[in-house]
Amino acid sequence: MEILTSIVITPFVEMFAYPDFLIQVVWEGFVAGVLYSLIALGFVLIYKASGVFNFAQGIMVVFAALVLVSLYSMGLPAWLAVLLSLGVMGILAIGIERFVLRKLVNQHEAILLMATIGLTLVLKGVGQLLFGGEPKPMITEELGLPTGSTDWIVFDGIVIFQHIDIAATVIALLMVCALAVFFSKTRIGRALRAVADDHQAALSVGISLHQIWAIVWFASGIVALVTGIMWGARSEVSFALEIIALKALAVLILGGFTSIPGAIVGGLIIGIGEKLFEVYWGALLGSGVEAWFAYVLALIFLLFRPQGLFGERIIERV
């Protein structure tokens, strides 16, 4: 009975007793969710266009951020470093398409997944070899991102908003809008959607699959760089991020593999959900529940709605 009270009643009593704290927790979760969404977005872009489940997205985030920080530390101005990192991600995209994907056309999707796991190892090794394994601070101020924080006095308490978190949210929003415009208005965007719909039909109207794949990997490379900057600014750039990035997989299950809105909503649900669960229910189980909450939520979700929140395709039931 006591346990039941502490599960069903006490957390909610606490939430209403200290609403300022609740807002703070939800906000923290929201920002974490935005970052999960960004990583998941990179997955969705690639999966839609090429059917490849890109396990390497997490390491691409780390890699892009490391390239940026290292270029800056070599003495280049920040804007040039950003441009050059974009160039590196572009070369990477072309290289991956040319040497990995092109050879694996028409393979089973599990094979493609494993190829991207191999890619993860290569990128990790190259990254550590070139840039060293120790964490590096992100060049937040040099990129013109705001630092500092604003206090919001509400319900007899203070809610603290870090400016970088607000900036991350705004930039994420802008990027999603830009992607939406890119997909719906431009020639390449239409070609991308055509490829996502049907490879063979797209080929028959003269769309080059190789080109589209390179473009889409480049696009997710850009998303990776932005994610890396934001995440690096909140903590620092390190390879530990790779494990956290795996949570984006749980986000994908919630949102569906092919849906951009799904990636965003799924990310927010996971981000807010795990923070709330950790703060209000975590103590019952011993802390650290953040490590598995996302996956278990996704697992339970799968049992009831296998195609995800916005998934367009019905997954084959077994």
| Residues at the site binding other proteins, with contacts judged by CB under 8 A | 53, 100, 103-104, 107, 109-111, 113-115, 117-126, 128-129, 133, 243, 246, 249-250, 252-253, 257, 285-286, 288-289, 291-292, 295-296, 298-299, 302-303, 306, 315-318
Q: Comparing C-alpha atoms, which of 258, 297, 253 is closest to residue 274?
A: 297
Neighbours of 164 (CB within 10 A): 19
**Strand, coil or helix: what is 105?**
coil
How far apart are CB 123 and other proteins at their closest, in Å? 8
Strands (E), 16-118: none
How far apart are CB 121 and other proteins at their closest, in Å? 3
253 vs 272 by CB, closer to other proteins? 253
77 vs 125 by CB, closer to other proteins? 125
How far apart are CB 48 and other proteins at their closest, in Å? 14
Dist. CA 230–CA 172, nearest whole Å: 9
129 vs 153 by CB, closer to other proteins? 129
178 vs 291 by CB, closer to other proteins? 291
Q: Comparing C-alpha atoms, which of 292, 296, 298, 271 is closest to residue 25?
A: 271
How far apart are CB 168 and other proteins at their closest, in Å? 25
How far apart are CB 255 and other proteins at their closest, in Å? 12
Dist. CA 116–CA 114, nearest whole Å: 5
How far apart are CB 286 and other proteins at their closest, in Å? 4
* Token pair of 29 as six digits: 């979760």
Dist. CA 194–CA 189, nearest whole Å: 9
Dist. CA 243–CA 157, nearest whole Å: 35
125 vs 137 by CB, closer to other proteins? 125
162 vs 220 by CB, closer to other proteins? 220
Q: Which helix (H) or strand (E) holds 151?
A: strand 149-154
Cα-only R_g, the chain: 21
Any idea what DSSP says for residue 160? E
